[in-house]
Amino acid sequence: MHWYTGFGWGGMLVMTLTTLAITAAVVVLAVAALRPRFRPHDDAAHVLDLRLARGEIDEAEYGRLRRALTDPR
């Protein structure tokens, strides 16, 4: 009465490959979800903006430094 009793070698291979593919997809999705989407702003212009906001430099110094950053030499 039991005409088909299992997957056989081909079915086991397909099941193994499917399990590996699903596991890889879960890992890729987890890494993509946990990775920060934006890099921290450590560029010179942002640091300059922060220094002005904290009162470390005045507007004249800010303007001079900003021009120095953006002036192509």
Q: How many domains would you assign to the chain? A: 2
Q: Which pLDDT belongs to residue 63? A: 94
Q: Looking at the structure, tell me whether residues 29 and 58 fall in a common domain.
A: no
Which helix or strand (DSSP H or E) is residue 41 part of?
A: none
Q: Residue 71: its pLDDT value, please?
A: 83
Q: Check residue 41 and give its pLDDT.
A: 62
Q: Report pLDDT digits (tens) over 5-53.
A: 666 778 888 899 999 999 999 999 999 999 877 766 668 888 999 999 9
Name the pTM for this structure: 0.47
Q: 10 Å Cβ neighbour count for 2?
A: 5
Does residue 44 share a domain with residue 31?
Answer: no
Considering the domain architecture, whether residues 44 and 20 belong to the same structural domain is answered as no
* CA angle centred on 53, ends 49 and 59, rounded to 5°: 75
Same domain, 31 and 17: yes
